[in-house]
Amino acid sequence: MTSLCCRVKTSQLRLWESLKRRQKMPHDSAKAQDIRAKIALSDLPFAFVENPGFLMLMEHVKPQFEMPSRHYFIEKALPALYKKISDKLPVIRCTPGSNLTR
């Protein structure tokens, strides 16, 4: 005798549901930008994004995400992140004889 809590109803995906799961997310979507920013901040060499194990993990975790190359992170993602952060920081002007420790 099986209990009611252990019964799982399984059904086959509809065609449109299956196609939607395979569709890649837009590069400019908030989720894609968030994933790329987290990878850029991970303090790992950017060649890591081309590691077969990491690519398989990302395909399993978020199959809709299309992993950019390491060149993308070096040439676009990191400079954009730097600009975003530096724009929020106050400008410190160093003049001869100024003391930044006070």
Question: Within a domain: residue 33?
Answer: yes
Domain carrying residue 52: 25-85
- pLDDT for 15-50, tens place per residue? 767 666 667 888 788 888 888 888 888 888 889 999
Domain count, the chain: 1
Q: 26 and 32 in contact (C-beta within 8 Å)? A: yes
- Residue 64 within a domain: yes
- Is the model's pLDDT at 102 over the cut of 60? no
Place 78 in a pLDDT band, splitting at 50, 70 and 90: confident
Inter-CA distances, 21 with 18, 36, 48, 52, Å? 5, 20, 25, 22
Q: Does any domain span residue 53?
A: yes
Determine, yes or no, domain membership for 8. no
Tell me, yes or no, whether 1 lies in a domain: no
Alpha-helix runs per DSSP H in 11-92? 15-22, 30-40, 52-61, 70-72, 78-88
Q: What is the mean pLDDT of the chain?
A: 79
What gap in Å lies between CA 16 and CA 55, rounded to an integer? 26
The pLDDT score that the predictor gives to residue 41 is: 83
- The confidence band for 4, taking pLDDT boundaries of 50, 70 and 90, is low
At residue 97 the predicted structure's pLDDT band, cuts being 50, 70 and 90, is: low
DSSP code at position 44: S
CB-CB neighbours of 40 under 10 Å: 21
Question: Is the pTM higher than 0.85?
Answer: no
Cα separation of the two ends of the chain: 76
Tell whether 42 is covered by a domain: yes
